[in-house]
Structure 1
Amino acid sequence: MDEKRRKLKFRASRRGFREMDLIMGQFAERHIGSMDDEELAEFERLLATPDWEVYAWIIGNKSVPANYAGPVMDRLLAFEYDPRA
């Protein structure tokens, strides 16, 4: 795994908000290896967004703003966290 992917994977699992650590970390573990450069940039942008905003989108309390919609956000919304993993 290249350095950029490793750094993004680390950031995804160390968010500071436990629920997001678990969801984003597991999502990154499963998907980051298959992301192309455009998707990596989208994921990095999501990681730079405040946790509470992204979490509200994930749990359906708020709609995803059009400027955050994309293939990675679609996969994240469809992602099923596995507490046993």
Structure 2
Amino acid sequence: MNSKQNEVQASNGNKLNGFTITAIVLAAVGFVLNPFAILSIIGIVFGGIGIAKSTNKKDKKWAIISLSLAIMETLLWFAIVYSALAAL
């Protein structure tokens, strides 16, 4: 019985925290629908918080991936808007 409790505790340590999951979702949805880069900017915030509150390597890795994805989306959106305004 004692070994099963240890297995459950070990598997719970591999979970992603809520901030990281939120950052992943915002970064993924931001590629499809991103009005004024709001979702990407919020994804950057949640990705940073996810990195700060990460407790294991898997959580930190996904937080860094989502943070970098959200940053690239934001830069891409600003480049598109800048080029559209420059064409006017």
TM-score range with shorter-chain normalisation? under 0.3
TM-score, with length taken from structure 2: 0.26
| Structure label with greater radius of gyration | 2
TM-score, with length taken from structure 1: 0.27
